[in-house]
Amino acid sequence: MYVGSARCAIALGSNLGDSLTTLESALQVLAHTPGIALEARSHWYFTKAVGPPQPDYLNGCALLHVTMTPQALLETLLQTEAKFGRVRRERWGARTLDLDLLLFGDVVLDTPTLQIPHPRMTERAFVLVPLAEIAPDWIEPISGKAIAALVQTVDCSEVRLA
């Protein structure tokens, strides 16, 4: 398993409650977590929800520098979601906070609990638009393409700056 320090990308989303306050607060919690340094963050974007009928999302991405394993970072993200009232009821359902680990350096990992890169990130404009804002040259290790190139392959018409 990976040990050391790495640059990571996460996606943040919310469509229940005061989404802006929740997202800003979650970033602050992560930035003050031992082993995590916040390097950059995107603007927030309004996006249409994927899945069952529900309110639009507020989405963004952040770059972190971490000194922990991918699994430890995932656990930290899940604990942070829980602090903000995340309850998992249905797949792709509405949520107070969603934190997804997108990229962890150039690590490719496929375990029962964690896949890196995130398996659907290259199909999602609500991930690629904010990620391209802060990490356009990052190479997604499965496709070998830069984020700036990947964002050109998806329909971005439903993603608008908040």
- CA 97 to CA 81: how far, in whole Å? 6
Which of 89, 100, 124, 160 is catalytic? The answer is 100
Length of the chain: 162
Which of 41, 98, 110, 160 is catalytic? The answer is 98
100 is catalytic: yes
Which of 56, 88, 95, 110 is catalytic? The answer is 95
The DSSP secondary structure of 80-142, one letter per residue, reads HHHHTT----STT---S-EEEEEEETT--EE-SS-EES-TTGGG-HHHHHHHHHH-TTPEETT
Which of 86, 91, 106, 137 is catalytic? The answer is 86
86 is catalytic: yes
Residues with catalytic roles: 86, 95, 98, 100
